Chain A
Amino acid sequence: MKPSILLIDDEPLVGKRLKPSLEKAGYEVETFEDPEAALKRAAERNFDVVVTDMRMEGVTGMDVLNAALARDAKTRVIIITAYATMELAREALSKGAFEVLAKPFSPRDLRDAIGRATAARGKAAS
């Protein structure tokens, strides 16, 4: 069974650009631009890895992090943000985030981070 990824970013280009690359790398990927819809989906099923933007309309990456970990503490959450700071990185990690990536990042950086996250869960891409 392929490791599953939930990718949330209100910028449409992010999902369009990253989904094909992640599927090619062997992951099952669902993408959402609407963070409220993404939270609903996250409540319906478990995902191995959640990749979420930090600053979105109405819902923040921290909200997503809290919801994902509340549902399944083994979920690995990766924060992606154009507004990375030392304080934000530390806060995200202290609340259970697995990784923090600053935008812009390459698809390879994200694939590497997801690879480490799935390895930490004991799963690997097929």
Chain B
Amino acid sequence: MSIVTVASDSWSRGAEVARKAAQALDYRLLADDEVLAEAARRHGVRENRLRQALFEPPSLLGMSRARRQRNIAYLQATLADALLEDRAVYHGPFGHLLLPGVAHVIRVRVTADQQARLELARSRDGLPASRARRSLRQEERQRRFWTAELCRLDTDAAELYDLVINTTNLDVAQVVQQIVEAAGNRRFAPTTYSRERLAQLALETRVRAALVNIDPGVRVRAEQGQVTVQTVAPQARAQRRTAQIQEQASSVDGVTSVQVEVVPDRLSDIARSMR
């Protein structure tokens, strides 16, 4: 069975769509709150920090890039682990970006015309139009940032989604029906290859989550338990960095061997040589 990720624009009825799609498919529903709570528990971080990393657009006085990278690594690892068993619907803003290349993940985007969204903001949440518009602009900035940050694409790039649904002129049942039909399409069935790809991603993200305190920008590749880690460090620290990463990565469940590639931090090396 497949996995469905539903990324929805605010006030487009995405949460209701995800819930009813899970019911119709007899899949478990995984919501952002659960992923955030579990990530906070596993990695010993505060849930509001994870929420901030995910939902607040970057700003000069806001969360540092390094801290944001760490928090996203924790979220990604938690989400990949949670979806190792398929038959799930995940409702969250960036599921389609956090699970790249897995053929049995159906990436759905739920949106609506701006006027319909503003009207729902007013009727459901009592938000005046001016505040709702500000919220939509903030959300858009955030979406653009994360899409560019995680996959170097524009947020509206067609290749990010398998199904884009505008709910303005459809009722929820019709939207759910489209998702159910997609889930029944053979092309989205799990295969040995796609399950292994998800397991590989889960291991890569687990290892990365274990290493981001050493280097927030660390890159990890895994193949059947064999892990290659790429890190940037000044030459003087290369040996110590390698040893730290070896020790930390080897302790992650599922890792059978660790190879570390240290990319020279040229700027630091030059600065050091000028002292």
Interface residues of B in 151-191 (CB under 8 A from A): 185-189, 191
The residue from B101, B187, B191 contacting A99, defined by CB atoms under 8 A apart: B191
Known A-B contacts A89-B103, A90-B103; A84 and B193 likewise in contact (beta carbons under 8 Å): yes
Contact with A along B75-86 (1 / 0, CB 8 A): 000000000000
**Which residues of chain B have C-beta atoms less than 8 A from A105's C-beta?**
192
**Which residues of chain A have C-beta atoms less than 8 A from B103's C-beta?**
86, 89-90, 93, 100
Known A-B contacts A93-B187, A94-B187; A100 and B192 likewise in contact (beta carbons under 8 Å): yes
Question: Smallest CB–CB gap between B250 and chain A, Å?
Answer: 23
**Which residues of chain A have C-beta atoms less than 8 A from B102's C-beta?**
86
A100 touching B186, Cβ below 8 Å: no
A94 touching B193, Cβ below 8 Å: no
A85 touching B191, Cβ below 8 Å: no
B192 touching A93, Cβ below 8 Å: no
Give the residue among B102, B185, B186 with the most A Cβ atoms within 10 A.
Answer: B186
Interface residues of A in 72-126 (CB under 8 A from B): 84-86, 89-91, 93-94, 96, 99-102, 105, 109, 112-113
**Which residues of chain B have C-beta atoms less than 8 A from A99's C-beta?**
191-192
**Which residues of chain A have C-beta atoms less than 8 A from B185's C-beta?**
94
B193 touching A90, Cβ below 8 Å: no
A100 touching B191, Cβ below 8 Å: yes
**Which residues of chain B have C-beta atoms less than 8 A from A112's C-beta?**
192
Total inter-chain residue pairs, C-beta < 8 Å = 44
Contact with A along B184-227 (1 / 0, CB 8 A): 01111101111011000000000000000000000000000000
- The chain A residue with its CB closest to the CB of B104 is A89
B187 touching A90, Cβ below 8 Å: yes
- List the 8 shortest-distance A-B pairs measured between CB atoms, nearest first: A94-B187, A89-B103, A90-B187, A100-B191, A86-B103, A100-B193, A102-B193, A93-B186
- The chain A residue with its CB closest to the CB of B191 is A100
Question: Smallest CB–CB gap between A34 and chain B, Å?
Answer: 26
B101 touching A86, Cβ below 8 Å: yes
Known A-B contacts A86-B101, A86-B102, A86-B103; A93 and B189 likewise in contact (beta carbons under 8 Å): yes
B193 touching A101, Cβ below 8 Å: yes
* Docked complex Cα distance between A45 and B191 (Å): 27
B192 touching A91, Cβ below 8 Å: no
* Docked complex Cα distance between A93 and B192 (Å): 12
B194 touching A89, Cβ below 8 Å: yes
Question: Smallest CB–CB gap between B184 and chain A, Å?
Answer: 12
The residue from A96, A100, A109 contacting B194, defined by CB atoms under 8 A apart: A100
